[in-house]
Amino acid sequence: MARAEKAQNNESELLERLVGINRVAKTVKGGRNFSFAALMVVGDGKGRVGVGSGKAREVPEAIQKATEQAKRNMIRVPLREGRTLHHDVKARFGAGKVIMRAAEPGTGIIAGGPLRAVFEALGIQDIVAKNVGSSNPYNMVKAALSAFDKMESPRMVASRRGKRVNEVLGRKKANDE
């Protein structure tokens, strides 16, 4: 029972951001059937984020479906000092390209629409991001997630190379001088 309560608390702490709603139409013999497509971003504000899309005849149902899918598709992103990226990164999805740069403390989130929602849900406080090419929200958000998949912390690089973090960062010890 304690595990179920803990899972419930984790879900209630998630930040949900609605990125966009589209009214889509299917043309049939008797006319057009309208439905709604929603794009949601869900994150815990501490380095986990997920994206989902849902489609239904009513807006609230579409949002609920998108939110559930986003919760299922959450990924962990390594953050530097819990506020920005470890390094600059570029990625693309379809015709949408995203360029993200780590920023100094106090910079804030400098990014447009859909990317801003992703960064807020992720818990990033200082970042500069640029969208190049398609401004389609689906492509922009998927490109951002693709960039996050490429993201590596110094600890991850060090373990892959079999070195210490200081060696990867190029720092010298006090007794080496």
Decide if domain 2-75 falls under CATH 3.30.160.20.
yes
Q: Locate the domains of the chain by residue range.
A: 2-75, 78-163
Residue pLDDT, tens place only, 9-44: 556 688 899 999 999 999 999 899 999 999 999 999
Angle between helices 113-122 and 137-150 (to 10 degrees): 40
Decide if domain 78-163 falls under CATH 3.40.50.720.
no
CB 142 within 8 A of CB 73: no
> Using 50, 70 and 90 to split pLDDT, how confident is the model at 161?
confident
The one-letter amino acid code at 106 reads: G
Q: How high is the mean pLDDT of the chain?
A: 86
Alpha carbons within 13 A on the beta-carbon side of 130: 7
CA angle 120, 145, 75 (to 5 degrees): 80
The one-letter amino acid code at 108 reads: G
The reply to whether the predicted model has a pTM over 0.85 is no
Q: Count Cβ atoms below 10 Å from residue 102 Cβ, excluding itself.
A: 18
> Using 50, 70 and 90 to split pLDDT, how confident is the model at 144?
very high
